[in-house]
Amino acid sequence: MPQPRAADEVFVYAREGAELRDFLALVERFNRRSPNPTRWRPVVTTADDPLGRLVEERRGDVVILAGRNGGKARTIRRLHESGFLVLADKPWLVEPGDLEHVRASLDGWPLAAEIMTGRHDVAAGLVKRLVGAAEIFGAFRDDGPAIEQESVHHLEKLVDGAPLRRPWWFFDVRAQGSGPVDIPTHVVDQAQWLVDGDAVAPVLLSARAWSTRVPAEAFRRITGEAGFPRELEPFVDGDTLSYRCNAELVYQIGRVTASAATRWNLLPLPGGGDASHSVAHGTRADVRLEQSARTDHRRRIFVEPRTDAAGVVRTLRDMVTTWQAEFPGIEAVPAAPDAFEVIVPPPLDGGHETHFTRVLDEFLTLVDERRWPAERAARTLAKYTLLADAAAKTR
């Protein structure tokens, strides 16, 4: 829906081409949708050096960046040093050398912030509350990874019933980012949040990366390209592209060990889709957030007592009762043997798109109050320092 603190007129700087046309078509689709249409009025400037034109003409004070990730760290730094406020999609870092630009962009005002939606998700927020309740969760266990996170995405899939078209450069890790720096940007942020570790620098213990094989026929379907562009030749063997998009990281935040596995499959199974699974292991109970075929592809929260099940369940039900004013209709019900599910009525969360609205509102509040979020800046830098280390170790 329209953001009252942002002008409807937006200035778009880009090179001429299919990506600009696709972006403008998407804006038009949002403007025409029902319900909650937007009312953006794009004013487009095309140039060989769109960033230079933007800085020179300075027709606004906030720049929002998305798209190709290669070079993004340098772009954010130039905008930051030119006095612009920046809200940029992840990942900021594609290669280890980008870290110096990230550090410079986070070193004081003007504000540079990530588009990081996970902390605005209702289910994730409830998981954090459950983990923070010592009578339910206890403390993080120390006999292995206390946080285990896994996500599975698919290169070829349908969105709103239509095949998702990806640009060819999505398969170039120099432009998109490799497995260790892409999806883990969100995953590590969630782990930092769960352990209240925003002031603690995570330390990498191990990292590995591997490729998904993309046949030429699948590449044509996904991108609409007639064949592999010349830029992708270093990653092509015969009629198959090797896309290094998968990763496993093990790291520590203070005394808590976390593991993250993120991978891309070519196609989902029939009736399947993207999936994610996150579990926090506590001394009294495990708290699990899952979205998969087993949960009918809905994000569902489970509490699995490990000791004093009666006490854990009693406290869980009492806590859920206290949430009724904030989350009407929420309830805790028996699920699998020795587990309970915290059921969140669907109307309580408007879906992933609403998270972007909350991110923008939070960003504009910081701008309006000219409030420097020192803790967030430190957290972001610590996270990218970890991911730069992972990228270097998996080259």
Chain segment 313-328, per-residue pLDDT in tens: 999 999 999 999 999 9
Under a CB-based contact definition with an 8 Å cutoff, are residues 312 and 305 in contact? yes
* Interval 386-390 mean pLDDT: 98
Q: What is the pLDDT of residue 41?
A: 96
Q: What is the pLDDT of residue 280?
A: 98
Half-sphere exposure of 168 (CA within 13 A, CB side): 15
Residue with tokens 């497995």: 179
Please give the full DSSP string across 300-350, using - where no structure is assigned: EEEEEESS-HHHHHHHHHHHHHHTTTTSTT-EEEE-STT-EEEE--GGG--
Q: What is the pLDDT of residue 361?
A: 92
Contacts of 335 (CB under 8 A, 6+ apart): 302, 341
pLDDT for residue 158 is more than 80: no
Chain segment 238-255, per-residue pLDDT in tens: 999 999 999 999 999 999
Chain segment 19-76, per-residue pLDDT in tens: 899 889 989 988 998 888 889 999 999 999 999 999 999 999 999 998 899 999 999 9
Q: What is the pLDDT of residue 15?
A: 93
- pLDDT band at residue 94 using 50, 70 and 90 as cut-offs: very high
Distance of CA 358 to the CA centre of its chain: 14
Pairing of strands 62-65, 85-89: parallel
**More reliable by pLDDT, 67 or 181:** 181
- pLDDT band at residue 161 using 50, 70 and 90 as cut-offs: low
pLDDT for residue 160 is more than 70: no
* Nearest CA among 267, 214, 224 for reference residue 245: 214
What are the structure tokens assigned to 334, written together?
């028996």
Q: What is the pLDDT of residue 254?
A: 95
pLDDT for residue 351 is more than 80: no
pLDDT for residue 162 is more than 80: no
pLDDT for residue 2 is more than 80: no
pLDDT for residue 139 is more than 80: yes
- pLDDT band at residue 1 using 50, 70 and 90 as cut-offs: low
Q: What is the pLDDT of residue 394?
A: 95
Chain segment 212-235, per-residue pLDDT in tens: 999 999 999 999 999 999 999 999
Q: What is the pLDDT of residue 142?
A: 94
pLDDT for residue 297 is more than 80: yes
Q: What is the pLDDT of residue 338?
A: 86
159-166 contact pairs (CB < 8 A, 24+): 163/221, 163/222, 164/222, 165/22, 165/222, 165/223, 165/224, 166/222, 166/223
